Amino acid sequence: MLTLRKITGTDLMVSPIGLGTVKLGRDRGVKYPESFTIPDDRSARGLLDLSRDLGINLLDTAPAYGRSEERLGPLLQGQRDHWLICSKVGEEFNNQTGQSHFDFTPEHVRLSIERSLQRLQTDVIDILLVHSDGNDIEIIQRYGILEQLELLKAEGKIRAAGMSTKTVAGGIEALKRSDIAMVTYNLDYQDELAVIDYALAEEKGIFIKKALASGSLNQRPGIDPVRASFDQVLGHQGVSSAIIGTINPEHLRANVEAASAAMEQQRSN
């Protein structure tokens, strides 16, 4: 069972592992080493139930994840209070073409959040992040998008705000203006470590994406890459939670066991 931890700088308590739900909503234009089939509602409900039993309380979704938000809304009825929902604005995915496009204008931010609230069948989204196209600084400065999210916080539509960034400069700038940055960090990629260090120093939240490199970690002789990944990722005190995007129940159990072992070792050191 996972122990909740506080997202620094907020009043939100989060599990150290969050469940990514892109595979509940789309199977086109995704970068995984193996193909997969989008699970039906029964399998999706079972995955959510297992996640809850294992102590996970964070779900990561987005409009760009195909039908993920639409499916989560009905699936979470009657248990909404258990979950922290993290969704996003900025990226739109077309199921027909399999292509994404981006819109960071204030008008689209408003449309997107209202649509997400309807799809998720909820009155508030716990965490809302900007889905960057890679031009982090331009998005922040040109569109004033993080200020738009602060307005949504004031209106009570979201509880915490931030940005899923792709650059060190963007991650740090996002943390200066908001609550949370989501960054890439794993055994094969540590280029954004400076953002996590900054968050720790400035008491801001950090979510990790691709903690297991989307299933493409380089193999190391004699080393369990999953356990080593969680030793590294959750071993950094600046990390609030790592998002794991699996639809395989056994993989989910193994990930939680590895994360729990890493955290237990961390506590004993």
204 is in which domain, residue-wise?
5-268
pLDDT at 203: 98
pLDDT at 190: 96
CB 179 within 8 A of CB 160: yes
Q: Position 51: which residue type?
A: S
Q: Calculate the dihedral angle through the C-alpha atoms of 269, 192, 87, 149, rounding to the nearest 10 degrees.
A: 110
Region of residue 29 (left: phi > 0; alpha: psi -120 to 50; beta: else): left
Packing angle, helices 145-154 and 168-177, rounded to 10: 30
Compute the distance between CA of residue 215 and CA of residue 151 in angstroms, rounded to an integer: 37
Show the tokens assigned to 24.
């509940």
Q: How many domains does the chain have?
A: 1
pLDDT at 246: 94
Picking from 252, 179, 161, 166, the residue whose alpha carbon sits closest to that of residue 209 is 166
Compute the distance between CA of residue 236 and CA of residue 254 in angstroms, rounded to an integer: 21
Show the tokens assigned to 30.
């995704």
Q: What are phi and psi of 4, to 5 degrees?
A: -70, 150
pLDDT at 98: 83
pLDDT tens figures, 13-48 = 999 999 999 999 998 878 777 788 999 999 999 999
pLDDT at 216: 67
CB 90 within 8 A of CB 130: yes
The CATH number of residue 240's host domain is 3.20.20.100
pTM assigned to the model:
0.95
What stretches in the chain show pLDDT beneath 70? 216
Q: Position 139: which residue type?
A: I
Show the tokens assigned to 16.
């150290």
Packing angle, helices 68-75 and 106-120, rounded to 10: 40
Compute the distance between CA of residue 198 and CA of residue 233 in angstroms, rounded to an integer: 15
